[in-house]
Amino acid sequence: MEETSAPKPILEFNFKAEVDNDVFNIILSRKYSKCELLNIKISQSNSIPPSSFEAEFTKKDLDSISKYFKMFDDISDLVPELQNKFEKKEYNLKKNENAILIYFNLGIKNIPDFFLTISKTHNSINSTVEALCGLVNKISNENKKMQDEIKNLKDEIINLKKEIKELKEENDINSDIVKNNEDKNMIFNWIRPKAKIKLNLLFKATRDGDRISAFAEKVKGKSPTLILIKAKSGYKFGGYTTVEWDLTGYYNYKKDSNAFIFSINKRQKFNLKNEGYAICGDPNHFAFGGGHELTIWDNFFSNDNSKDYSYGHTYETTSNYELTGGAKNFYVEECEVFQVIFD
């Protein structure tokens, strides 16, 4: 029985080359049909549609190109040698409209360098159209994704604006007396630290008049209340109480363990000493303290009957008229009363 030789192994190697911003993928392989063939495939991956080049050489073809190939018995021996040339970058690529030329730099005495011509393969119209359709679909999908991202960003911006508006509205005072954020935050912290607070303007003297009757009508049944006062001297002060004002009788004192008065100019809060006399009211005045520490009398724009006694009967004040900066009697320039609402 005649012995048959074992088939030679299939040889195939891949390379990547970059020339003038063009990227080429090179596949070097041994094929066998009726005879052994050297197959070279080159594709340009960054072109649209992708360009491809291919050529096949028999050993006889190669021998006619260069004496170099005659040094090898067959294609199987030659492929690893060409692989070595590619790995050592002992080659150059040159592309024209119809082919890619591979120049091999041999450096062998008496054997000149040579080149192999790899011809361009002509894709069918259908494959070109298919490639273009794929590109269009890719662009369309990327555009849709971008539109979705833009919509999501717009929604986030709307939500952020809403949150900013809500934060701005929280713990804010729509006041002509207290305008800067530092003073606003100071007063809110005095009322209840870290609380979310909303204020409802009940009474404003320049809007509603300087009569105690107008004050009584606006604050009736409302609590807690924050009162801000600006004297014509420029001093700003006020008080806070958690009980309702009663201005129907004569000297109606109210007990309130949470009440306090304060000086905005001095940035100082004065706590209660005697909670039984926290606030007082009647048809002619409203006041904080027994005696009183702070009193606002009727027609308070036109007379200086309003007083700062500051003698420490009910609140922790002294006798040097701390609220008004040293003046016992004062004219009121503005008075604002807010209902305090805890969120």
Summarised one tens digit per residue, pLDDT across range 43-92 is 887 776 678 899 999 989 999 999 999 889 888 888 888 888 888 888 88
Domains in the chain: boundaries: 12-121, 181-342
CATH: 1.20.1250, 3.30.70, 1.10.3470, 2.170.210. Which one for 12-121?
A: 2.170.210
Distances (CA, A) of 128 to 47, 50, 56: 12, 9, 24
Q: What is the pLDDT of residue 56?
A: 92
pTM: 0.53
- In the prediction, which pLDDT does 340 show? 95
Instruction: Choose among 10, 19, 11: nearest CA to 51.
Output: 19
Ranges of residues in the chain with a pLDDT under 70 are 1-10, 48-49, 122-134, 163-172
pLDDT, position 143: 84
CA distances from 4 to 1, 7, 8, 36 (A): 9, 9, 12, 17
| Residue found under tokens 């409802």 | 200
Question: At CA 28, angle to CA 23 and CA 34, rounded to 5?
Answer: 140
- DSSP, res 221: T
What distance in Å separates the CA atoms of residue 295 and residue 30, rounded to the nearest whole number? 108
What pLDDT does 8 receive? 52
**Distance from C-alpha of 301 to C-alpha of 232, rounded to nearest angstrom:** 9
pLDDT at 240: 97
pLDDT value for 255: 95
Kindly calculate the radius of gyration of the chain based on its CA atoms and give it in whole angstroms: 47
> Cα(first)–Cα(last) distance of the chain, in Å?
102
Query: How high is the pLDDT of residue 76?
Result: 86
**What is the reported pLDDT for 217?**
95
CB neighbours (10 Å) of residue 233? 14
Query: What local confidence, expressed as pLDDT, does residue 122 receive?
Result: 66
pLDDT value of residue 305: 82
Size of the chain in residues: 343
